[in-house]
Structure formats: C-alpha cells, structure tokens
Chain A
Amino acid sequence: MVIEVKKVSFGYSTEKVLHDVDCVFEGGGFYAVIGPNGSGKSTMIRLLNRLLIPDTGTVQVNGRSVQDYPRRFLAQHIGYVPQSGGSSANATVFDTILLGRKPHIKWAPGKSDFKKTVNIIRDFSLEHLTLRLTGELSGGELQRVHIARALVQEPDVLILDEPTSSLDLSHQIEVMKMLKEVSTKGITVIVAIHDLNLALRYANQFLLLRDGSIIAMGDERVISEQNLRALYDVEVQKVDVDGQSYILPLLR
C-alpha cells in the first residue's frame, strides 16, 4: 500500500501547520517522522488515515484520495495508535484489543475475531492481564495493548504518534523492537518520534519536518549533522559505535 501526500496544506483555525507538503510512503518501510515540537509531525500522520482533512492538496492511498474511500475500508488497512488516551480506563484489556476487529465486523464480533484477539494477547504476553482494566496498567503495558489493538486490525500500514514518549528506556526499546518486527512482516510502520537514536536504530526511512515543511526525506543519510542543525538549531555530532550511528547533542 502506497500513501502519497500531494501539495498538502493544513491549519487549525487560522494558524497554518503544514505548507504544501509532498511525500510518499512506500509499502513495507519503517518511517520515522522527526522534527521539533510544533513542527507538524502529529498533524502529518493524522492526515494519512483521514483523521484530519487537508485544507488544500490531497492524500492518496494507492492512487485514490483517502476521502473517496469509506472510513471502514481505511480502517481495514491503516491502524493508528494515538499518543495518549487511546482507550477507556474502565475497559478490560481483552475488550480494548477486541475493538481492533471493529473494521471487519458488521454488528458483533464472531468466533474468528475472538480467536485473533486471543492469539495476539498470547503473542504480546498479555494473558495475565486479560481481564484487567486498562486504567490499572503501567505505561508500557498500555502501549503494548494499544499496539496489539492496532495489529489485530490486520493493517497494511501502522501509524503511531510518539509511541515511546511516556515510557522508560527499556520499554522504549521493547516497543521499537516490536515495531521493527512488525515492519519485517511487510507492514509499513510510520511513527512520529522525538528520540533520534531510537529512530536511527530501528527505522529505515526518515522524514524531517520543520515549521510545517519537509526539509529532507530519505534513508539514514538524511540524518546528517547539517540537517539536524537546521532542524533543531542545536549542534550535534553523529558518531559510530560498532557500526551503529548515534546522535550526540553538543552542549556548549
């Protein structure tokens, strides 16, 4: 599934957040959308599955505008994990994950929907939490539940808004590893993310946004010291440790 963003501008009330953005998300990649706070990352990814509608320009899925697809069709193909508040605190883990089957269900979940939910709960090692309320979970557990829900949707594309922002280091790595595994199965993963090193370690495509415009897009090479300086107004050094690149901010 290919998602193309064509000359898209978007604003909340009078303030423009994105200006004439053009980019393409090819099937199967692991994309990291990077940029400072307020650069338009969350807006950008929410335009991809029609959570927001562009003021001008179009977002196309497989050559057709997202607005021409039924919402249910998009939901069958694009999963979404919001940054926060993605579930009712009073719902059980099982009921929350089962919701992911919604796009495939007309009225009520059937046997195969229950089976798929049971399987993903097992795959994500959440069995012991099956009947716990999501409001009682830790940040890491909750994020796993939300990703499990998006995956039980059986999407071709998985979009996540800062999936690691409220997690400790080990859970950040756990979630990114999980997403990497998802992308190796052929599902396109698109994350808005602040942590450059996690992005560099796990993603393979990068989109750099500043003030609502793309300043670079491409593979690891676009994460250059020069581009990052332009992005954040901060001096950084890209260092290599055991063949893996890391970004060090130079605090002067």
Chain B
Amino acid sequence: MKDGNGSETEELIRKQYVRRLTFMLSSLLVLLVLIFWGLSMGSSLLSFSDVVEVLTGSGSEVSRQVIFQIRFPRILAAIATGAALSVSGAVIQTVIRNPLGSPFTLGLSAASAFGAAFAIVVLGAAGAGFATGVGSLARMPWIITLSAFLFGLICALLITGFARWRGATPEILVMAGIILTSLFQSGTSLLQYISTDVELASVISWMFGDMAKATWDKVTIQFIVLLPAILFFVFNAFSFNALNAGDEVARSLGVNVDRLRLWAVVVASLCAAVATAFFGIIAFVGLVVPHVTRWLVGHNDRVVLISSVILGGVFLLLADIISRTIIAPVVIPVGIVTSFVGAPFFLFLIIRKVRKSR
C-alpha cells in the first residue's frame, strides 16, 4: 500500500466519462438526423426545406398531412419500438446471464403470435374486411393487438410464476422460455392448420413486423409504458452490475437477487409485449443492439442501458427508412430488414464466440 493523491485514477475516470457522454450525445445527433431524413423520405418525397417549413408551422396542407399523420407517428413508433426491444434485450441478457438472450428468448414473440392467431382464427377478427383493408371490420385489428398483448402478458406471468416456484435462476428462466416458445408455437401451428386461407394470410401478415401500423394512439401508449420502464432499468442499473458479478456477490452486496430478476423480467416483457402486439414480430433488434452497444461503450449497465435505448431507436428507424426506400414505392415490412441484418450478425456472434473459446 502506498500514499498518493489518486489523481491518475480520477483522470482516467474523468476521460472515460467524457468519452461516454460524447458517444451518447453523438448517437442522439444521429437519431435527430435520421428523424429529419425519415420525415422527407417516402413514396411522396419531400425536400428538407419542405420538412422544415411544416415543422415551423407553414408548408402545404398535403405536406402537413404526410408529416404529422403518417411519417411522424411511424418514426416515433420505430424509435420507441427499437428502444423498447433493445433495452429489454440488454436487461434480459443480464438477468438470464446469456449473451444470446432477447425478449423473445422468454417466449414473448411466440406468445404474441399465438395471441394474434387466436384473435384472427378463433375470434374471427380478420375476416374478409381485414384481408383487403376495407369493410365493416375496420376496428377489429385492435382485437388482434389486444389479444397479442394479453398472450404476451400471460407468457410473462407464466415465466414469473415458474421462476417464483423454482427460483429465479438464469437456467430456470431460459428453460421456461424454451418450454413456452414451443408450447405457443404448437398452438399457432394448430390454429394455422384449422384456419381458412384468408385467416392464414392474415396470421402470416401479422407476424411480419411492420411499422406501417403506427398511429398516434399506439405511439402514445408505447411511450407511456416505455418511459417508466427505462427509468426503472436505469435506477436499477447499479444492481444489474452487481448481478453481472454473480448472484452470490450481488447478495453479499445487499441486492435482493430474486426480486430484481423477477421485476426486470416483468418490465422488460411488458415493453416488448406492447411493441410486438402493435407492430408484429421484429426479430434480432433485442439481440443485436445490446451487443453492438456493449462493444461500443463497455459493460457498465448504466451506460449500456441508456445507450441501447438510443441505439435501438437509431437501428430500427434506419431499418424502417431502408424498408420504405430500398425498392420504393414498394414498402417491405421492417421485420424482414432487421432479420436480414440480424441473421448474419447472429452467425458472426457465434463464430466469434467459438474463436474466442479456442
């Protein structure tokens, strides 16, 4: 042990803090640029000056309609969905201590898909009207959304119940996730088997994650759920760091490990369930973005969680803009774009892991 003034450490920590802050502010700036880009891109191309005019209160009525009724809700929904999926993924990777974890590891996507299929096939929510987008069943998509959300919630409650019964260990959570995924997928297959062609088309169409379903109502609900969830995660970030050191160390540091794990699963599931119920299955965001975030900012959960909220928004907004423009005027569902990016990345992740362990 020696004497000194500790300035070397303080200087290093100060520099790290500045680096992290710079990174977060730059990411926010990128997000802002993407928002502007997203507002101008689309089947009706608006110039940046058109966008600025509309935002400052002038501009043509058509431009206003396009921006405020179509593009803004879609952009905000993409940001909220990306943020929700990626922050949930980051949290779930921590609590199940598995780098391949995501909201969907716990069976959420399978449960929501089952919920949607249940509404379409059993409750008849699709009907011919839904398939063609016209007719008397215009309000029925809400039943599909509600059912998808309820089954997402049921899945989260089953996971939680299982964890309370057998102990909230990472292994139990992963196993419960696998069981529930398998169960709900079988249910969906059964429903697809007994469905009509129209219903089958509706079920499959629902499963493509698509931001075209965005409305102001949905965006509002998403933010009402997402903002307190982010606060909960960030306030518990220091406890998540303790959890990363192992359950025993976390307990010795005063963390109520089981309670933290349960609440983290519940809140993360809720965020992901809302996003999935509204927009369908958007794969890989919850897996890929937390990993990229950790590569960029390190493994301190406070920084990871805040950054993954921003980067999740950036990632899904970018993917949505690509999905709207890559073969315009055709808009492809954003879930397909994220899967195209996510699948190779997933492979890269596995190869990297294998190389590291050699």
Listed in ascending order, the chain A residues whose CB lies under 8 Å from chain B are 46, 49-51, 70-76, 78-80, 82, 85-88, 90-92, 94-96, 99-100, 102-103, 105, 107-109, 114, 118-119, 121-125, 127-128, 130-131, 153, 178, 181
Contacts and interface: CB of A to CB of B under 8 A. Distances in A.
A74 B246 CA distance: 18
A78 B252 CA distance: 8
22 contacts: A73-B254, A75-B252, A85-B246, A88-B245, A88-B246, A91-B245, A91-B299, A94-B12, A99-B238, A99-B245, A102-B242, A121-B6, A122-B2, A122-B6, A124-B1, A125-B1, A127-B4, A130-B9, A131-B12, A153-B253, A178-B1, A181-B1
B149 to A, nearest CB: 30
Contact of B6 (A46, A75, A119): A119
Contacts of A76: 254
A79 B300 contact: no
A75 B254 contact: yes
Residue from B9, B239, B300 with most neighbouring chain A CB atoms (10 Å): B9
A49 B249 CA distance: 11
Contacts of A99: 238, 241-242, 245, 249, 253
A103 B298 contact: no
Interface residues of B, number: 34
Given A80-B249, A88-B299, A124-B1, A102 B254 contact: yes
Dominant SS among interface residues on chain B: helix
Contacts, number: 114
Nearest to B241: A99
A153 B16 CA distance: 24
A90 B299 contact: yes
B255 interface: yes
Interface string B1-16: 1111110111011001
Nearest to A94: B13
Contact of A102 (B10, B244, B253): B253
A82 B4 contact: no
A86 B245 contact: yes
Contacts of A82: 246, 248-249, 252
Contacts of A73: 254
Contacts of B218: none
Contacts of B302: 108
Interface in B225-274: 235, 237-239, 241-242, 244-246, 248-249, 251-256
